[in-house]
Amino acid sequence: MRVRGLVNVSHWAEKTLENLNLKRKFNATIVKEESQTLGMLRKVKEHVAWKSVDVSIINELLEKRGKIKGWKTLTNDNLPKDYGSITELANAIFTNNLNLSDIESIKPWFSLSPPKGGFNRKTKTQFSQKGVLGENNDLTELIRRMI
């Protein structure tokens, strides 16, 4: 999830964020847990927060914030033909069999709102320094407040 905005972002960081489908503040995406993507996340750790997620948060993001082309809400009726329900799609994404960017009809990012109740930690420092950025263990609770 991208926490910081667009101002004063270096060119290489902007390109990396674009490759991760994090072009705007409060955008979230789901990427495979590989060494390449973890390296990209560590490279832009001053702008993003990340964590390994479970099936329930993927399912919640797809149901409430999933969009298809034309900015229509994702439902069981307009899913790709290979999947009967949003839960099946969430399970496929969780088991690393599928990337969101591999499905053409679904947008590969989720536009979130600012968190209800605000950030309880600083947004300019790392999680280990009482901030939000970097590898954040409390990110699922924060995302639930942003959905």
**Same domain, yes or no, for 16 and 34?**
yes
> Position of tokens 């263990």?
137
- Find how far residue 81's CA is from the centre of its chain: 24
Query: DSSP string covering 117-134, please?
Result: T--SSEEEEEGGGTEEEE
Three-state SS at 140: helix
- Domain residues for the domain of 67 are 55-107
In tens, the pLDDT along 12-25 reads 999 999 999 999 99
CATH code of the domain in which 97 resides: 1.10.15.30
Nearest-angstrom CA–CA distance, 71 and 93: 21
User: E-strand spans in 46-109?
Assistant: 49-50, 67-68, 72-73
In tens, the pLDDT along 102-126 reads 888 899 999 999 999 988 888 889 9
pLDDT of 35 reads: 94
Quick check: is 61 in a domain?
yes
**Same domain, yes or no, for 118 and 47?**
yes
> What single letter denotes the amino acid at residue 107?
K
**Same domain, yes or no, for 39 and 75?**
no
Tokens encoding 33:
């847990």
**Same domain, yes or no, for 89 and 120?**
no
Please count the structural domains in the chain.
Answer: 2
- Find how far residue 52's CA is from the centre of its chain: 11
CATH code of the domain in which 25 resides: 3.30.1390.20
In tens, the pLDDT along 41-67 reads 999 999 999 999 899 999 999 999 999
pTM equals 0.87
**Same domain, yes or no, for 99 and 138?**
no
Three-state SS at 55: helix
Burial zone of 77 (CB within 10 Å; 0-12 exposed, 13-18 middle, 19+ buried) = exposed
Quick check: is 72 in a domain?
yes
